[in-house]
Amino acid sequence: MNITQSFRLAIKSILSNRMRAILTMLGMIIGVASVIIIVGIMNGLTKKIESSYADMGINSISVYVQKNGNRMVTEKDMYQFYNDNQDLIKEISPSLEQKYVVKNAETKFKANVKGVSETYAEIKSLTLKEGRFINYADVLLRQNNCVIGAYVEDKLFGKGNGIGETIKINGETFQVVGRVKEVAGRKKGSADDCIYVSYSKVIRMSKSTEIGSYEMMAVDSTLADPLVAKLETWLYEKIGNRDYFYAFSMSSMISSMNTIMGMLALALAGIAAISLLVAGIGIMNIMLVSVTERTQEIGIRKSLGARRRDILNQFIIEAAAVSGIGGLIGILVGVLLVLLIGKLSNMQASPSITSIIISFTVSVGTGVVFGYMPAKKAALLNPIDALRGE
């Protein structure tokens, strides 16, 4: 008996016991669908995180420095480093952040006020909705001009246009000269909850002469990590202790995040795959029952000349068919749910071709492995004893 005949007999057996076959497949369906859903959602989350970091500037580098006794890095030092390494650095901007009370005639609340230079928007890939960003004149003259984020815009002006309007920040009057396009859902505490003014103005408002953080933009994303390495060496020479400074590139952060997300997806998929093992045990139990029920059939076939190999192949193919059909249904369910979840959550979740192929292969393999023992038991039955069985 060839494989085609064995497959036909397997399908006939499955159709004659539909309910039992469906219940047997259930564990396989759940396991395969779970793996596809988990991998698909994790892929969507990874893309979303990458997109968020890319929006903040894929080539950007953040630097944080502190004073170590009499050893410190001044604004002049940082700009000298920038001038000396323009083959690596495209732009640089000091970055100071304070929380101040912001109000207009109708609204009063606390907001993040970030002091930056005219290059900050390019470094962080900020897109203006309207107006302009902080310019060199604002920095040089400490002018009271500001650019507001989407959340601040909603709080102060609702759906109105705030360009040209005045607001008070920490008691001082500022004119709104620009609005930044929404980047984080207009939520409190997000990147949209921010007001940008010149860093020179924030220094005066905070009554501090030290700048503790800077943002840089590498000439190219491939130069970001070499720039960080050179920067760390230079900072160590200046400050003398690595505990007093920290520098990282956005590209290295994305890489680390991808590694973490990949490991998490693998762990979750492994947990989901346990259900495949449970499904395999279920298939083995059902096949053992099937062998017991079909003892006389096996005896008749053997008496008519069927070899042990034929009986073995028949039951292994039947187990593989049950698990394979369950795997196909699981793939269909998993793909549909991934697409549905992605649509509902506004996330680029998509089924992974690799996870689909692996899941189906494992499902069929599980059927073969766990169907072997019942198949071997059927193949080893003595024809005379089998014919006597009820």
Residue that is last in its domain, among 177, 210, 243? 210
**Could you give the number of structural domains in the chain?**
2
- The verdict on residue 336 lying in a domain is yes
Q: Which residues of 66-100 are buried (b: 16+ CB within 10 A; e: fewer)?
A: eeeeeeebebeebeebbeebeebbbbbbbbbebeb
CB atoms within 10 A of CB 201: 24
Same domain, 19 and 118: no
Q: Is the model's pLDDT at 255 over the cut of 80?
A: no
Q: What is the pLDDT at residue 382?
A: 64
- The verdict on residue 352 lying in a domain is yes
- The verdict on residue 57 lying in a domain is no
- The verdict on residue 77 lying in a domain is no
**Whether this model's pTM surpasses 0.85:** no
Q: Is the model's pLDDT at 66 over the cut of 60?
A: yes
Task: In whole angstroms, give the CA distance from residue 148 to residue 200.
Answer: 17
Same domain, 9 and 114: no
**C-alpha of 337 from chain center:** 17
Q: Is the model's pLDDT at 115 over the cut of 60?
A: yes
Same domain, 260 and 384: yes
> What are φ and ψ of residue 198, in 5° steps?
-70, 145
Same domain, 360 and 265: yes
The residues with which 179 forms a beta bridge, in sequence order, are 130, 148
Same domain, 12 and 125: no
Residue that is last in its domain, among 175, 210, 245? 210
Mean pLDDT, range 186-199, rounded to an integer:
88
Task: In whole angstroms, give the CA distance from residue 288 to residue 315.
Answer: 10
Q: What is the pLDDT at residue 30?
A: 85
pLDDT in tens, 8-22: 766 777 777 777 778
pLDDT in tens, 340-359: 888 887 777 788 888 888 88
Same domain, 120 and 194: yes
Same domain, 204 and 281: no
Tokens of 122: 């390019």
DSSP code string of 202-227: HHHHHT-----EEEEEESSGGGHHHH
- The verdict on residue 159 lying in a domain is yes
Q: Provide the pairing of β-strand 145-148 with 128-131.
A: unpaired
Q: What is the pLDDT at residue 54?
A: 60
Tokens of 30: 């759940």
Q: Which residues of 156-172 are buried (b: 16+ CB within 10 A; e: fewer)?
A: bbeeeebbeeebebeee
Same domain, 270 and 199: no
- Which residues form the domain of 129? 96-210
Mean pLDDT, range 297-325, rounded to an integer:
75
